[in-house]
Amino acid sequence: MSGTTAYVIFDGVALGAVALLALKIKDDLAKRRRTRGANDALAKAGEADGWSVVPAAEAAAELGPLVTWRAARRVMVRHGDAGDFWFTWHFWISYHRHGRAIIPQHHHRSRFIAPLSNSPTDGLIAIQRRSPLGRTLKRVWGMGTGDAEFDRRFVVKPADDPVAVAIATPAVREALMSGAIPPFSVFRNFVSLSYEYPPWPNIIAEGTRAITALSDLLRSGA
């Protein structure tokens, strides 16, 4: 191979790498614009449903680590007779190496949060869906609730803590299995629902309905 040919090949590879980088930057900027647009549309949808935007610092004074674990891009509050409902949206980018390439990954987490008058624990309780493989390998994870179908489909964590398991009352189990409420977590004096996708405006109606139903269930103790 002649020196001229080698330079031509090198230049071609370099130009290809620059073009790929330019495309990736363009795609990243487009995603950021869509995210900002979704954020603005989210605020408008929230206002129509009784939510109002508040500074993240104001929410942090009330919610602590529920809002400060990552800088919240949007925080809203909805006042109610039984206490304020909160909405927080977090967005961040992580980077992963794939060979020589650095691949950005966009993460979204929207949370609807409601206060509890009597918290069952100072730690974290979470009810999660089980994977199809987990269901097949083990019908019950941990001590279980005594409801075979629920224990096959869901797990309460910590799995061997009676206080945690007690939060899955018959009414809560029925609502989870019917899809009336999604899986949720309890941390200190709050219950929260998490959605792992961009904050499209329709999430407001969906999340408001779900967090209202869930907080009513937990307050009733049914």
pLDDT in tens, 125-171: 999 999 988 888 888 888 999 999 999 999 999 988 998 999 999 99
Q: Which range among 6-10, 75-79, 150-154 shows the weakest confidence by mean pLDDT? A: 6-10
The pLDDT tens digits of the residues spanning 172-192 come to 999 999 999 999 999 988 999
**Average pLDDT, whole number, for the chain?**
82
Q: Please give the Cα distance from 208 to 78 (Å, whole number).
A: 9
Select the more confidently predicted residue: 154 or 18: 154
Q: Please give the Cα distance from 89 to 108 (Å, whole number).
A: 7
pTM comes to 0.76
CA 109 vs. chain centroid, Å, equals: 4
Q: Which residue has the tokens 């950005």?
A: 104
